[in-house]
Amino acid sequence: MQTTGRDADWLDRAEYPFESHFLEVDGGRMHYVDEGQGRPIVMVHGTPTWSFLYRRLIRELSGSYRCIAPDQIGFGLSDKPPGWGYRPEDHARNLRTLIKRLHLRDIVLMVHDFGGPIGLSYAVEQPENVRALVLFNTWMWSLGDDASARRASRLAGSRVGKFVYTRLNFSPRVLLRALYSDKSKLTKAIHRHYVKPLPSPGERQGQWVLARELVGSSAWYERLWEKRDRIAEKPALVLWGMKDPTFGERQLARWRELFLRAEVVTFPESGHFVQEEESARLGPIVREFLAGIP
């Protein structure tokens, strides 16, 4: 059974008080949040998260901006079909469909984790429609030279890896918690919102495939990175958790080198999920950055 915004009895509507919208894309029905009016901010999540990750920023920004936060197919309240591709490139095509169907113009792209290559693929292909970028811990290049990424991707692609990701729901149950620096910020109530959208092995294909494609899609990432000059002059805000064991100072240095007009804010005590661990601080920082965009 597919979970929707209406039948998700585990969903705390005080924490996530947004109306559900759906769009038919490749793979099924994509769920998305569409709140507020003004310049569109398209918020792109990674794994094993969904639009819930951006809930506090949506509440903070929707008074002045139009906040659109989709759930990738296989995540959150979107369909989770068996046998679909689930590669980053597949999600990127769906994101392009969403932006086109909603007639979004002059957008701000906000990306995190796998949302980096998924979202930034749109920016390098259609830079004329992207006004600015907001990046949380993410990448857009091959990780083939990263030994830890190679090990993680190889393990995920193995029979054992598929078992722990699909049968044991490893990514939201275990990996997500491990990537927090301050574990107290991941309360049982919040953690439930990342575990419950993936109730059965058949609905966990998306997180497993993305783990495998961390290195498996390296050729696609490299093609994106070769076009990086197309976004080098975009106003960029980089918000970086410095205690992230996956994307740290080395990856941050690449973004510093690329963007000619980058504002970089680091969070020394935050892990991978800055949106959760630093939620109280993010709103004013993002607002100030957006206010300075012509």
Q: What is the pLDDT of residues 275-294, one digit of tens each?
A: 999 999 999 999 999 999 98
Rounded to whole angstroms, the Cα distance separating 195 from 193 reads 6
The full set of domains in the chain, from first to last, is 21-291 (3.40.50.1820)
Q: Residue 294: what pLDDT?
A: 82
**The pLDDT value given to residue 8:** 86
Q: What is the mean pLDDT of the chain?
A: 96
pLDDT, tens digit, 9 for 90 and up, residues 102-145: 999 999 999 999 999 999 999 999 999 999 999 999 999 999 99
Active site residues: 113, 244, 272
Question: What is the percentage of the chain residues whose pLDDT exceeds 70?
Answer: 98
Q: Is 38 left (phi over 0), alpha (psi -120 to 50) or beta?
A: left
pTM, entire model: 0.96
1 falls in which pLDDT band (50, 70, 90)?
very low
Q: Which residue has the tokens 């994307």?
A: 247
Quote the CA–CA distance of 134 and 43 in Å, as a whole number.
9
The encoded tokens of residue 223 equal: 């093609």
| For residues 96-104, average pLDDT | 98
pLDDT beyond 80 at 6: no
